[in-house]
């Protein structure tokens, strides 16, 4: 199967592993794959490279990078016959962790090349025209992503420092959330809409969420002080986040969120300025993705065209 590896040298751990592109080429040669490596040159270039791969009838397009690289590559593959594979090299790797994909580079390359895997179809989301595949958010969520993306050194400790710094300076906002025929107005510190169950690093914002159920999970967190935020942070990693009295959870295929003024949102950690009204919709099973053969996070599809060879 013709394959293209799209390598982002400025993503997460790749900043310290510029030799990885050469290692991927060695892997391709050793396995005798019909594949090549394309290196990104800046924001948005991964999408251009993935679109080119689709035109060249690549069956698998591999994103070698973090959540931002995954997002850019996946944008070009939605609704096509090409499948996305991930070699996770980012700070969070939320979708990869949700699906149980290997984080070790050699194992991830092996899976991407067809080793003991299958192709599944997962839901994707779009928020005011911006695609997302793991999670999007407003309020504190977006502000933290904005600050985090400006750091040169990342990782979970850096993310925690940024989050608590933003918490000290940010106040809640009033949102009106429409879910079908239901309208709710609430003060919230953040509103996240998740496709998978987590942000990344196994921080589960929407426990039990699935990427193949045709729905998205909205989680709104009411304003809390620092002690309350610490308690919620523990719940993110230990479980039961959505059972807190400070958390409101909704599920559906479409949400409309209205706020006081235009502002930031994030999609898979990348921030955008957008309108006061944010419309979020699911696109059911619109992206093909390589997963381990025994992956329980997404249903098996028995059609022969969806099996790796």
Alpha carbon distance 295, 293 (integer Å) = 6
The CATH architecture one would assign to domain 130-283 is Sandwich (2.60)
CB 58 within 8 Å of CB 14: no
Name the range with the highest mean pLDDT among 151-155, 166-170, 209-213: 209-213
* Residue 193, strand partner residues: 136, 218
Q: Is 256 helix (H, G, I), strand (E, B) or coil?
A: strand
Provide the 8-state DSSP code for 242: G
Q: How many CA atoms lie within 13 A of 304 on its CB side?
A: 0
Mean per-residue pLDDT, 218-241: 90
Instruction: Tell me where in the chain the CATH 3.40.50.10330 domain(s) lie.
Output: 3-115
Greatest Cα-to-Cα distance within the chain, rounded to the nearest angstrom = 58
Least confident of 3-7, 143-147, 198-202: 143-147
Mean per-residue pLDDT, 155-162: 72
Alpha carbon distance 152, 134 (integer Å) = 23
Tens-place pLDDT, residues 55-76: 999 999 999 999 999 999 999 9
What pLDDT is attached to residue 304? 46
Q: How many CA atoms lie within 13 A of 87 on its CB side?
A: 30
What pLDDT is attached to residue 17? 66
What pLDDT is attached to residue 143? 87
157 contact partners, CB below 8 Å, separation of at least 6:
none
Confidence of residue 229 (pLDDT cuts 50, 70, 90): confident
Q: Which residue has the tokens 């957008």?
A: 274
Average pLDDT, the chain: 91
Instruction: Tell me where in the chain the CATH 2.60.200.40 domain(s) lie.
Output: 130-283
121 contact partners, CB below 8 Å, separation of at least 6:
212, 285, 286, 287, 288, 289, 298, 301, 306
φ and ψ of 304, to 5 deg: -55, -30
Tens-place pLDDT, residues 234-246: 999 999 999 999 9
Res 12 pLDDT > 70: no
Give the pair of three-digit tokens for residue 275: 């309108």
CATH of 3-115, one of 3.40.50.10330, 3.30.70.1140, 3.10.20.340, 3.10.310.10: 3.40.50.10330
């Amino acid at each position: 199967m013709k394959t293209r590896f799209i390598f982002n040298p400025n993503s997460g751990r790749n900043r310290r592993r510029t030799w990885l592109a050469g290692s991927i080429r060695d892997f391709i040669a050793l396995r005798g794959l019909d594949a090549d490596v394309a290196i990104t040159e800046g924001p948005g270039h991964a999408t251009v490279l993935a679109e080119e791969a689709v035109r060249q009838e690549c069956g698998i397009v591999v994103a070698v990078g973090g959540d931002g690289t995954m997002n850019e590559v996946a944008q070009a593959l939605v609704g096509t016959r090409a499948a996305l594979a991930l070699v996770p090299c980012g700070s969070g790797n939320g979708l990869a962790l949700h699906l149980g994909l290997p984080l070790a580079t050699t194992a991830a390359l092996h899976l991407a090349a067809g080793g003991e895997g299958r192709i599944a179809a997962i839901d994707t989301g779009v928020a005011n025209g911006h695609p997302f595949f793991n999670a999007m958010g407003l309020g504190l969520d977006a502000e933290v992503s904005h600050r985090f993306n400006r750091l040169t050194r990342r990782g979970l400790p850096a993310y925690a420092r940024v989050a608590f710094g933003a918490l000290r300076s940010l106040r809640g906002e009033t949102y009106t959330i429409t879910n079908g025929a239901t309208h709710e107005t609430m003060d919230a510190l953040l509103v996240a809409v998740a496709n998978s169950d987590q942000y990344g690093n196994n921080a589960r914002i929407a426990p039990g969420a699935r990427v193949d159920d045709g729905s998205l999970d909205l989680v709104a967190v009411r304003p809390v002080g620092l002690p309350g935020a610490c308690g919620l942070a523990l719940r993110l990693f230990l479980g039961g986040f959505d059972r807190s009295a400070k958390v409101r959870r909704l599920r559906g295929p479409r949400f409309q969120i209205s706020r006081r003024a235009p502002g930031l949102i994030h999609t898979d950690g990348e921030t955008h300025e957008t309108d006061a009204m944010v419309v979020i919709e699911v696109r059911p099973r619109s992206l093909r993705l390589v997963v381990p053969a025994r992956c329980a996070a997404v249903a098996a599809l028995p059609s022969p065209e969806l099996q790796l060879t």
